[in-house]
Amino acid sequence: MIRSDTVKQILEHYRVIWALSHAQGLMGWDSETYMPEEGIKGRAVARAEIAQLIQKFMLDEKFVKLVEKAEEEKDLTDVERGIIRVLKRDLKFYQRVPPEVVKEFVKVTSEAFIVWKNAKEKAKFEIFAPYLEKIVDLSRVIADKLGYEQHPYDALLDLYEEGLTSRDVESIFSTLEPGIKTLLYKLESRGWPKKHPLEEVPYERQAVEAAVIDVLNLLGYPRGRFRVDVSPHPFTIGITSPYDVRITVRYRGVDFKEPLFSALHEYGHALYELNIDESIAMTPVGTGVSLGVHESQSRFIENIVGRSREFVYKISPILRKHLAFLSKYSDEDLFYYFNVVRPSLIRTEADEVTYNLHILLRYKLERLMITGEVKISQLPELWNSEMERLLGVRPKNDAEGILQDVHWSHGSIGYFPTYTLGNVIAAMIYYKHGNIRGLISEGDFAAVKEYLREKIHRWGSIYPPKELLMKNFGEVYNASYLVKYLEEKYV
């Protein structure tokens, strides 16, 4: 797949950059799982220094010239063109964003995670606010350095979803917001369950952990390349895709669907990284192409597969084996428990119908933060008011409001719209296949995974997101599929 001698030289140099990124990933995973809290004092410095080393190797004059030379070569393979495209994007960042900004950003966000965690535990936004202010200021600098055509937020969107603009996001929400509100009105009039007794039932962590592993076994996860841990906020990381992929789950002791569907969600992310073609491992294209496409895989497994009636009936025997309290409930009860619909405060606990309104809230606030139209100190009240307008609920404190998500502590401004993008793409995939529910009913999860592997996973980052979707599905970002899916399922 690599024919060009120039690209071969590029990959030889890139191996060091990949190794440093590998170390960064492992340290990041450890920071959120097993590292003692005070370890952040050394970890933040180490990660900042490694970030500078990565930038140094990326900006090596010989390396830059090799990339420029390869870009001019004719008859490159798709893989080679993909490698050059990805590296050009990386070089744009490192050439335009000063090293001191990169170092400061990594240091601040490394420290900010611990501060956010403490602020959330105490439900006091003012503890985290100074760090968020620094992160927003640095994000503005990065946006200005990278450049944009219409809005500074577009430069940040593009970091997470290549080619995505505010215009794309506005178009998606212009379809979703009225569609969701209409659907909620219909569900209200038809009496779709807003709550279920199982939401209040406590569970033993060991029993639910065993059930989660057995459900993942049913889906066929590769034991030698995959592990499950625990963290305050569930996440997935490909330490070395496709050879070492890790997920985390959170256990609160009540409402067992939360850890179950967190595991399914993160498994969808992991499956993407695990199915990337081995021939492109440890190269610039050896990982998922974007966060929106990545999210489509997690939401596909979590919702379209996991919350389907067919899947619920398949996993019911597994759940009943581990959770004795389910003896009082039918399989149909489980289906409605997994698909309760009600406006809620917490995004990660939101149902399929209301979920994207949470993202719309964050999208609006992020744009206001980046332009400076809102002060950081004003965010909690603005958050609460918008939550009430969009969903009809109002947080009682900062922990269930503005502090609920970890992402801003990571510096991930421009990230949230990719969640909705993932839901949109997942629904597109569902309709483009045409028989997903049939395969689930038959228990043919291998066929489901093979379809995803062929259409999305194996390509890694060879093609940019819009090109990948157009190549395999004939269109991009069509939100009407998601509205149709929700209408058909719930009405």
Q: Which residues contact 153 (CB under 8 A, 6 or more apart)?
A: 143, 166, 366, 367, 370, 371, 414
Is 172 found in the same domain as 104? no
Q: Which of the four pLDDT bands, split at 50, 70 and 90, describes residue 348?
A: confident
| Contact between 64 and 14 (Cβ < 8 Å) | no
- Count of domains in the chain? 2
Q: To 10 degrees, what angle do helices 257-274 and 291-299 make? A: 130
Domain assignment of residue 193, yes or no? yes
The tokens describing 384, both together, are 């609460």
pLDDT for 232 equals 82
Is 364 found in the same domain as 484? yes
Q: Which of the four pLDDT bands, split at 50, 70 and 90, describes residue 1?
A: confident
Domain assignment of residue 59, yes or no? yes
Query: The domain spanning residue 248 has which CATH number?
Result: 1.10.1370.30
- Residue tagged active-site, from 162, 266, 273, 302: 266
The tokens describing 471, both together, are 């190549």
472-484 pLDDT, tens digit per residue, is 999 999 999 999 9
Q: Which of the four pLDDT bands, split at 50, 70 and 90, describes residue 291?
A: very high
Domain that holds residue 422: 166-490
Q: Is 90 exceeded by the pLDDT of residue 442?
A: yes
Domain assignment of residue 328, yes or no? yes
Residue type at position 53: L
Is 183 found in the same domain as 137? no
Q: Which residues belong to the annotated binding site for Zn(2+)?
A: 265, 269, 295
Domain endpoint, select from 108, 130, 152: 152
Domain assignment of residue 160, yes or no? no
Residues of the chain by 3-state class (helix, strand, coil), percent to 5: 70, 5, 25
- Alpha-carbon torsion 132, 134, 139, 144, what sign? positive
Q: Is 90 exceeded by the pLDDT of residue 460?
A: yes
Q: Is 90 exceeded by the pLDDT of residue 131?
A: yes
Give the containing element (helix H, strand E) for 325.
Answer: none
Q: Which residues contact 97 (CB under 8 A, 6 or more apart)?
A: 141, 142, 145, 146
The neighbouring-strand residues paired with 254 are 202
Is 286 found in the same domain as 250? yes
Domain assignment of residue 125, yes or no? yes
255 three-class SS: coil
Q: Which of the four pLDDT bands, split at 50, 70 and 90, describes residue 172?
A: very high
Number of helices and strands in the chain (H, E): 20, 3
Domain assignment of residue 268, yes or no? yes
Domain endpoint, select from 152, 174, 195: 152
Is 173 found in the same domain as 131? no
Is 116 found in the same domain as 174? no
Of 354, 373, 358, 476, the closest CA to residue 153 belongs to 373
Rounded Cα gap, residues 173 and 471, in angstroms? 24
Pairing of the two strands 236-240 and 226-230: unpaired
Mean pLDDT of 4-22: 97
Q: Which residues contact 92 (CB under 8 A, 6 or more apart)?
A: 146
202-245 pLDDT, tens digit per residue, is 999 999 999 999 999 999 999 899 999 999 888 999 999 999 99
Say whether pTM exceeds 0.75: yes
Is 366 found in the same domain as 327? yes
Is 409 found in the same domain as 341? yes
Domain endpoint, select from 127, 152, 177: 152
Is 117 found in the same domain as 251? no
Mean pLDDT of 154-162: 97
Is 296 found in the same domain as 438? yes
Domain assignment of residue 89, yes or no? yes
HSE toward the beta carbon, residue 166, CA cutoff 13 A: 15
Catalytic residue status for 381 = no
Mean pLDDT of 254-283: 97
Is 178 found in the same domain as 325? yes
